[in-house]
């Protein structure tokens, strides 16, 4: 191919024509087509450094088009930048408002739960104070039972020294009831102490949860006050990373609900226990007071029975003493009668003895002999009857003496029993505590 046939062109890079622009005519390209060009024959077939007129126009149009395209692109980029900045500003404002609203809702939720926890903790605290007062009542009531038990124990020990037949098991004994009451009060005190421990544990749990929510509330409140002109904000690139131990709203609410439910359950259990303690103390005080009154009444009745028995014993002793005296007089009279019969018997026996010495035929069984023999027989019978009656009288006197000693012993026993019941037991029962002290109020 000849060099003159080579086309040398300078074409600008293709430009995108805006849709709003009119179509323009592309200029003709400068080219060497033959020997009759402006370059002359000497330059035929060679490209010179000069531009053709069409090329000059073409280059001008290319510059215009490039300037227009650059301006148009810049304007479009400015519009897009302004739009993007406006959208970003609106997005930032909207997201910040949404975040602030969410933080405000969180503040309301946290404040509501914190108030619930505060009320629950206050309720448990007040309930614990009331239960502590009931526990102190129980302790005072338990201390108050020491006096009745001491009185009952001392009374039992004193009454153990009673002599037969007054050593009996009667209605006066009451120690078993007091011991049962003490066991009941001790068990109730342990139950109250355990409930107080549970109340305090759940109160501390509610207070810790409340404290955490107050701290979180203060943090969220500080966050809610932040704005774009705040001076104490800064970048925290890694703050969006969630902790693995972070809770969910559901688990967060359930945790507080469980704490509130447990606190309410323990508060109700404590209230029920207080009511039970009040019933126990009322019943215990009533039972002990009734038992104390019954024991005092039994002591009074027992003392009256002892006094009545003593009166009857003294009456019988008095009669027995009179009978002993009369029996002694009777014995003395019998002995005197026996003694008085000895002289006639000696006379009759002496007569018979002397007449037995009559001589010969004079020893006759005459009427006098028979009369003397009859007299001796009658006197012997009378003496035998008198001696037998004397023995009976002496035995009766011995029986009377035994009865007297028995009556005197019974009188001494009754006097001792009456002294124990009245002076040692009944007099000490004036120290028996009143119902208010037995109920734990004093």
Task: Please report the pLDDT score of residue 364 as a whole number.
Answer: 80
Task: Please report the pLDDT score of residue 49 as a whole number.
Answer: 64
Handedness of CA 204, 209, 215, 221 (dihedral sign): negative
Contact 438, 288 (CB under 8 A): yes
pLDDT digits (tens, 9 = 90+) for 267-279: 999 999 999 999 9
Residue 69 in tokens: 């395209």
2 burial via Cβ count (<10 Å: 0-12, 13-18, 19+): exposed
285 vs 131: CA distance, rounded Å? 19
318 vs 331: CA distance, rounded Å? 20
Residue that the structure tokens 């805006």 belong to: 18
Helix (H, G, I), strand (E, B) or coil at 362: helix
407 vs 317: CA distance, rounded Å? 6
Query: Using the 8-state DSSP alphabet, how is residue 165 labeled?
Result: T
Pick the closest to residue 176 from 151, 152, 142 (CA basis). 152
Task: Please report the pLDDT score of residue 204 as a whole number.
Answer: 93
Question: How far is the CA of 206 from the CAs of 103, 264, 288, in angstroms?
Answer: 23, 11, 42
Task: Please report the pLDDT score of residue 263 as a whole number.
Answer: 92
Mean pLDDT lowest among 32-46, 70-84, 92-106: 32-46
Res 44 pLDDT > 50: no
HSE of 132 in the Cβ direction (CA atoms, 13 Å)?
11
395 burial via Cβ count (<10 Å: 0-12, 13-18, 19+): exposed
pLDDT digits (tens, 9 = 90+) for 152-211: 766 665 555 455 554 555 555 567 788 888 899 999 999 999 999 999 999 999 999 999
Phi and psi at 163, nearest 5°, equal -100, 160
Q: Stretch 19-24: mean pLDDT, rounded?
A: 42
Task: Please report the pLDDT score of residue 132 as a whole number.
Answer: 93
235 vs 277: CA distance, rounded Å? 62
Averaged pLDDT score across all residues of the chain = 79
Question: How far is the CA of 78 from the CAs of 17, 85, 135, 263, 334, in angstroms?
Answer: 19, 10, 82, 64, 166
pLDDT digits (tens, 9 = 90+) for 203-217: 999 999 999 989 988
DSSP string, 326-352: HHHHHHHHHHHHHHHHHHHHHHHHHHH
Decide which of 37 and 66 is more confident: 66
Mean pLDDT lowest among 28-37, 163-172, 213-222: 28-37
Task: Please report the pLDDT score of residue 290 as a whole number.
Answer: 81
29 vs 42: CA distance, rounded Å? 22
Residue 123 in tokens: 């309720």
Q: Stretch 306-319: mean pLDDT, rounded?
A: 82
220 vs 358: CA distance, rounded Å? 162
Task: Please report the pLDDT score of residue 128 as a whole number.
Answer: 93
């Amino acid at each position: 191919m000849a060099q003159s046939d080579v086309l040398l062109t300078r074409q600008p890079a293709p430009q995108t024509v805006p849709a709003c622009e009119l179509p323009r005519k592309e200029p003709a390209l400068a080219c060497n087509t033959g020997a009759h060009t402006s370059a002359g024959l000497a330059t035929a077939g060679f490209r010179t450094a000069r531009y053709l007129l069409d090329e000059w126009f073409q280059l001008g149009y290319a510059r215009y088009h490039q300037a227009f395209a650059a301006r148009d692109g810049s304007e479009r980029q400015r519009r897009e930048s302004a739009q993007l900045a406006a959208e970003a500003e609106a997005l930032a404002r909207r997201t910040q408002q949404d975040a602030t609203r969410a933080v405000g809702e969180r503040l309301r939720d946290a404040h509501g739960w914190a108030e619930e926890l505060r009320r629950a903790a206050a309720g448990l605290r007040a309930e614990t104070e009331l239960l502590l007062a009931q526990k102190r009542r129980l302790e005072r009531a338990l201390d108050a039972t020491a006096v009745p038990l001491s009185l009952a124990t001392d009374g039992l020990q004193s009454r153990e020294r009673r002599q037969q037949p007054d050593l009996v098991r009667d209605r006066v004994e009451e120690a078993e009831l007091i011991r049962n009451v003490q066991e009941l009060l001790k068990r109730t005190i342990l139950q109250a102490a355990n409930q107080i421990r549970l109340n305090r544990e759940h109160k501390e749990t509610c207070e810790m949860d409340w404290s955490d929510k107050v701290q979180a509330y203060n943090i969220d409140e500080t966050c809610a006050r932040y704005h774009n002109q705040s001076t104490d904000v800064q970048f925290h690139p890694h703050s969006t990373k969630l902790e693995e131990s972070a809770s969910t709203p559901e688990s967060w609410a359930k945790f507080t609900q469980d704490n509130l439910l447990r606190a309410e359950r323990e508060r109700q259990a404590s209230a029920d226990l207080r009511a039970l303690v009040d019933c126990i103390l009322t019943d215990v005080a009533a039972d002990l007071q009734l038992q104390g009154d019954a024991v005092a009444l039994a002591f009074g009745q027992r003392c009256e029975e002892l006094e009545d028995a003593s009166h009857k014993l003294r009456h019988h002793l008095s009669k027995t003493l009179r009978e002993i005296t009369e029996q002694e007089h009777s014995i003395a009279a019998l002995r005197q009668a026996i003694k008085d019969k000895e002289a006639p018997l000696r006379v009759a026996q002496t007569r018979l003895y002397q007449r037995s010495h009559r001589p010969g035929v004079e020893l006759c069984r005459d009427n006098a002999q028979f009369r003397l023999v009859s007299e001796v027989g009658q006197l012997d019978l009378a003496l035998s009857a008198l001696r037998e009656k004397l023995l009976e009288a002496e035995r009766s006197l011995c029986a009377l003496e035994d009865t007297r000693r028995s009556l005197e012993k019974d009188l001494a026993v009754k006097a001792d029993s009456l002294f124990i019941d009245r002076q040692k037991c009944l007099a000490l029962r004036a120290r028996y505590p009143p119902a208010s002290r037995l109920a734990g109020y004093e």
